[in-house]
């Protein structure tokens, strides 16, 4: 078992920053939007339906993911929709273990290295939110060693792993610790399950972005960067969410 995983002092400090920038009503609205997103994913992809997903279904799902929203046409031109649907079904319902399924899905996005970080966990988490967790680059990018998880966990907890599948399990371990600590001390209590944690971690990354960008930008900052509720919605893929 690892030692201390969550940097509770930092996590609480981020919550104070978040509370100053986004209202409780906005936080509740964000969680409600994630529930809607999850309903969309389950209706399109859950219980074996993924392999029958139409191009229109896949377009709606891909448009609800931050990193694929503007690349849907390119993705579906390089990976035929019927083929992509089968790959998603194998990821969700295949007979291999989870790391193997994750790795296999990752390989089909060799032409989209950024998407290969985000898409597998988006499909898993929002189709079956009680079984799987989210892992996006803004949560943890091993290439740059940045992300919201690194900001609320201790330096002693190592998120590195051999392979994406193993890394997904490592991220899941960190997510579980942050979730349980958050429930205990009150910084992820604005949503049921992991959706409250998703919102919290997206808010943490938004605070980090604001801090970094303000150091690099002058008066242009407020004109270019969306306010926190809008920025968090974009990170979570629920900005102008299309539902079925």
Residue pair 31/203 in contact (Cβ under 8 Å)? The answer is no
* Whether the model pTM is above 0.85: yes
Name the β-bridge partners of 141.
146
pLDDT digits 0-9 by tens, 90-111: 999 999 999 999 999 998 988 8
Say what the pLDDT of residue 216 is.
55
DSSP string, 171-237: HHHHHHHHHHHHHHHTSS-SSSTTHHHHHHHHHHHHHHHHHHHHHH-STHHHHHSPPHHHHHHHHTT
Question: Phi then psi for 132, rounded to 5 degrees?
Answer: -130, 160
pLDDT at 3: 58
Distance CA 107, CA 178 (A): 29
What's the pLDDT at 217? 55
**What is the pLDDT at residue 110?**
80
User: What pLDDT digit, counting tens, does each position of 113-147 carry?
Assistant: 888 889 999 999 999 999 999 999 999 999 999 99
Mean pLDDT computed over 181-188: 80
- What gap in Å lies between CA 97 and CA 67, rounded to an integer? 26
Residue 25 to residues 19, 180, 242: CA-CA distances in angstroms? 11, 23, 21
pLDDT of 56 reads 96
Per-residue pLDDT band at 1 (split at 50, 70, 90): very low
| Res 224: pLDDT | 61
Report the alpha-carbon distance of residue 201 to residue 161 in Å, rounded.
21
On whether the CB atoms of residues 204 and 18 are closer than 8 A, the answer is yes
CA 47 to CA 93: how far, in whole Å?
Answer: 8
Residue 78 has pLDDT above 70, yes or no: yes
Whole-angstrom distance, CA of residue 15 vs CA of residue 206: 12
Residue-averaged pLDDT of the chain: 90
Span 9-34, pLDDT tens digits = 999 999 999 999 899 999 999 999 99
């Amino acid at each position: 078992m690892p030692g201390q995983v969550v940097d509770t002092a930092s996590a609480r400090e981020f919550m104070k920053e978040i509370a100053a920038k986004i209202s409780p009503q906005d936080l509740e609205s964000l969680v409600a939007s994630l529930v809607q997103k999850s309903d969309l994913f389950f209706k399109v992809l859950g219980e074996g339906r993924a392999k029958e997903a139409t191009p229109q279904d896949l377009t709606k799902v891909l448009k609800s993911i931050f990193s694929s929203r503007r690349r849907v046409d390119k993705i579906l031109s390089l990976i035929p929709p019927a083929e992509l649907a089968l790959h998603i079904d194998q990821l969700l319902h295949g007979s291999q273990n989870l790391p193997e399924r994750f790795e296999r899905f990752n390989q089909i996005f060799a032409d989209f290295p950024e998407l290969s970080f985000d898409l597998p966990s988006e499909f898993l988490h929002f189709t079956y939110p009680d079984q799987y967790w989210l892992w996006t680059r803004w949560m943890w990018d091993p290439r740059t060693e940045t992300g919201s998880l690194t900001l609320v966990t201790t330096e002693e907890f190592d998120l590195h792993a051999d392979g994406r599948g193993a890394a997904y399990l490592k991220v899941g371990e960190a997510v579980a610790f942050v979730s349980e600590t958050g429930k205990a001390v009150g910084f992820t209590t604005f949503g049921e399950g992991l959706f409250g944690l998703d919102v919290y971690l997206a808010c943490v990354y938004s605070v980090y972005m604001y801090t970094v960008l303000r150091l690099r930008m002058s008066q242009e900052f407020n004109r270019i960067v969306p306010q926190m509720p809008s920025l968090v919605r974009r990170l979570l893929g629920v900005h102008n969410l299309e539902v079925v």
